[in-house]
Amino acid sequence: MTVTPIHERYKQAVTRLVNEVINQGNLAVADELFSPALAAEARNWVAPFRHSFPDVHMRIVSLVAEGDQVVGRFACSATHTGQWMEHPPTGRRFEDVDEVYFFTFRDDKIVASWGLEDTAGRLQQLGLR
């Protein structure tokens, strides 16, 4: 039996978060990836964003794991078809907006996350700034 190293398991969890939860909108997977205390918060973060940008596609640029953390750099693209940050839909698209997130794991679950997104760049590409 092959055992997957812990850092690879953590990176696989972040990859599932991106592919299944964010890109595919399968919010139920959040219960598998996040601690019970954080799963509802994750769904409440992803669901409104997917409502505003239903074709969202997050691309993993890089993932680095050390200790109990995974740091990911991502590029996000989508079309603005729903209300977002008090802005009505523009029908415009943003491409490859940079995002960086830190995920902390305990018992193979994400127990904390913190990130930076280029919201100014997203607003500019959508013609809202």
pLDDT tens digits along 6-57: 889 999 999 999 999 999 999 999 999 999 999 999 999 999 999 999 999 9
- Cα dihedral 35, 85, 71, 43, rounded to 10, equals 20
CATH tag for 6-125 (out of 3.90.380.10, 2.40.40.20, 3.10.450.50, 3.90.420.10): 3.10.450.50
Helices then strands, counting H and E runs in the chain, come out as 4, 4
Alpha helices in the chain (DSSP H): 6-16, 30-33, 36-52, 119-125
DSSP 2: P
Question: To which residue do tokens 């078809």 refer?
Answer: 81
pTM, entire model: 0.94
As a residue count, the chain comes to 129
Give me the residues paired with residue 27 across strands: none
